[in-house]
Amino acid sequence: MPDDAEITQHDGPRLPKRLLRVGATISVLAALTALGARAWVRHRSPSAERYAYEPSPAGELPQLWSLPGFSTVDHRGAELSRESLRGRPFIASFIFTQCTNVCPAMTSRLVQIQRRLAGQDLRFVSFSVDPAHDSSQVLAEYARSWNAEETRWSLVATDEQRLPELLAAFRVTAEPTADPDNPIVHSSVFFLVDAEGQVRGVYASEDRLAIDRLVEDAARLVGDELGGAAEPPAATIASLGCAGCHDHSRIAPPLLDLQGAQRTLADGSRTTIDDAYLRRALLEPGREIVEGYFPLMPSYRETLTDAELDALVQELGERSRGAAVAEPQPKIELVTDPVCHMRVRSDPSAPHISHEGHEVFFCSEMCKEQFLAAPERFPLEAQ
Ligand code: HEC
pLDDT in tens, 209-219: 999 999 999 99
What's the pLDDT at 284? 95
Question: Measured from the CA of 285, which atom of ligand 1 is nearest?
Answer: 18
Positive or negative: CA dihedral 185, 190, 195, 201: negative
- Residue 101: CB within 6 Å of ligand 1? no
What's the pLDDT at 224? 65
∠ CA 23-183-379, rounded to 5°: 155
* Residue 50's pLDDT band (cuts 50, 70, 90): very low
CA distance 200 to 186: 21
Q: What CA–CA distances, in Å, run from 130 to 98, 126, 136?
A: 9, 12, 12
Mean pLDDT of the residues in the chain: 81
CA 270 to chain centre: 29
What's the pLDDT at 345? 84
Strand partners, 192: 91, 201
Contact 1, 10 (CB under 8 A): no
What's the pLDDT at 42? 31
CA distance 104 to 89: 24
Question: Measured from the CA of 273, which atom of ligand 1 is nearest?
Answer: 27
Cβ partners under 8 Å of residue 82, min gap 6: 67, 68, 69, 70, 71, 197
- Average pLDDT (108-127) is 95
CA distance 375 to 338: 9
Ligand 1: which of 290, 309, 313 to mutate, most ligand atoms within 8 Å of CB? 290
Closest CA to 148 of 241, 229, 79: 241
User: Which 3 state secondary structure label does DSSP give 247?
Assistant: coil
Indicate left, alpha or beta for 131 from its phi (over 0: left) and psi (-120 to 50: alpha).
Answer: alpha
- In tens, the pLDDT along 247-301 reads 988 899 999 989 899 999 999 999 999 999 999 999 999 999 999 999 999 999 9
- Residue 316: CB within 6 Å of ligand 1? yes
Positive or negative: CA dihedral 265, 105, 27, 16: negative
- In tens, the pLDDT along 92-107 reads 999 999 988 889 999 9
* Residue 182's pLDDT band (cuts 50, 70, 90): confident
Structural domains of the chain, ranges and CATH numbers in brackets: 7-221 (3.40.30.10), 250-326 (1.10.760.10), 334-377 (no CATH)
Cβ partners under 8 Å of residue 237, min gap 6: 243, 246, 255, 312, 315, 316, 319
Among protein residues, the one whose CA lies closest to atom 21 of ligand 1: 281
CA distance 107 to 172: 18
The yes-or-no verdict on residue 54 having pLDDT over 60 is no
- Average pLDDT (190-208) is 94
- Residue 281: CB within 6 Å of ligand 1? yes
Closest CA to 208 of 116, 120, 122, 302: 302
The yes-or-no verdict on residue 326 having pLDDT over 60 is no
Contact 271, 288 (CB under 8 A): yes
What's the pLDDT at 127? 96
| Highest-confidence segment of 31-40, 189-198, 372-381 | 189-198
What's the pLDDT at 347? 82
The yes-or-no verdict on residue 181 having pLDDT over 90 is no
Question: 123-128 and 90-95 as β-strands: parallel, antiparallel, unpaired?
Answer: parallel
User: Which 3 state secondary structure label does DSSP give 204?
Assistant: strand
- Average pLDDT (314-326) is 67
- In tens, the pLDDT along 224-235 reads 655 556 788 899
Among protein residues, the one whose CA lies closest to atom 30 of ligand 1: 281
CA distance 166 to 32: 27
Distance 111 CA to ligand 1 centre (A): 15
* Residue 40's pLDDT band (cuts 50, 70, 90): very low
- Residue 317: CB within 6 Å of ligand 1? no
CA distance 136 to 128: 10
What's the pLDDT at 24? 37
Among protein residues, the one whose CA lies closest to atom 24 of ligand 1: 253
Distance 109 CA to ligand 1 centre (A): 13
- Residue 293: CB within 6 Å of ligand 1? yes
Distance 323 CA to ligand 1 centre (A): 18
- Residue 99: CB within 6 Å of ligand 1? no
User: Which 3 state secondary structure label does DSSP give 82?
Assistant: helix
Contact 93, 155 (CB under 8 A): no
CA distance 7 to 172: 9
Q: What is the CB-side half-sphere exposure of residue 58 using CA atoms within 13 A?
A: 0
Q: What percent of the chain has pLDDT over 90?
A: 56
What's the pLDDT at 59? 66
The yes-or-no verdict on residue 37 having pLDDT over 80 is no
CA distance 314 to 316: 5
What's the pLDDT at 30? 39
- In tens, the pLDDT along 345-356 reads 888 778 899 888
CA distance 36 to 34: 6
- Residue 296: CB within 6 Å of ligand 1? yes
User: Which 3 state secondary structure label does DSSP give 218?
Assistant: helix
What's the pLDDT at 274? 94
What's the pLDDT at 344? 86
Closest CA to 293 of 18, 35, 15, 26: 35
